[in-house]
Amino acid sequence: MSKNNLETIRMELTPLFDYINKYTDLTLEEQSILSARFKIRKYLKGQFVVQNGDTCKYENFVLSGCLKTFYIDNEGLEHIVMFAVENWWTADMGSFITQTPADFNVQCIENSYLAQIHYEDLEQLYLQVPKLERFFRIIIQKAFVSSQKRIINNFSLPAKERYLQFREQYPQIEQRVPQYMVASYLGITKEFLSKIRNQLLLE
């Protein structure tokens, strides 16, 4: 890669470095090592970053845009597991870490710019920049904690409370995605979501 190209990518990766530096301190040299391995890719609204059945080869950091991770059940129903916007990571983690076919789909709800790291490049990066082990250890712990809370909320909270928690966890997303996707994330019907929203307006 030419020096100019590397400089451009490095500039475009600024949000990624800012994000990583919240947890650790990348030197300029380490930023260059990352810049040489991350790729930036634009996806159009509707395009798939991961498709069920394919192996998920990239871990993706969202530079801009909005995506959903979902699962299609045996009856053909879509269940949204998570959304991702700026400064979130998205992938089918199970597929990525085992390099086996994905259960989930990751699709763009808006045109999206992603910083992508290939599985093998990330394995190399862990060796070249060991502080990335710490960084990913910490952010995955946080993701695990959210995921555990979601299991509990699904069991124990009424839909209205789950909706309020959703708004807290994803403050900007409700304006960016269709209502039926919010309903799918909450595991309720669009009609029921609409009823909850009307109730809240009256409170």
Binding site residues, a copy of itself, CB under 8 A: 71, 73-74, 77, 79, 81, 93-94, 97, 103-104, 126, 130, 133-134, 136-138, 140-145, 147-152, 154-157, 187
Give alpha helix (H) positions in 100-157.
119-128, 131-156
Residues 184, 70: contact at Cβ < 8 Å?
A: yes
Separation between Cα atoms, residue 179 and residue 185, nearest integer Å: 10
Q: Report, in Å, the least distance between residue 69 CB and a copy of itself.
A: 9
Quote the least distance from Cβ 135 to a copy of itself, whole Å.
Answer: 9
For a copy of itself, the closer CB: 41 or 150:
150
13 vs 92 by CB, closer to a copy of itself:
92
The SS3 assignment for 56 reads coil
Non-local (6+) Cβ contacts of 1 within 8 A are 9, 36
Closest distance to a copy of itself from the beta carbon of 56 (Å): 11
Please identify, using beta-carbon distances, which residue of 6 and 97 lies nearer to a copy of itself: 97
Runs of H (alpha helix) within 22-130: 28-37, 93-98, 119-128
SS3 16: helix
In the complex, least distance from residue 141 CB atom to a copy of itself, rounded to whole angstroms: 5
Q: Which is nearer to a copy of itself, 118 or 150 (CB)?
A: 150
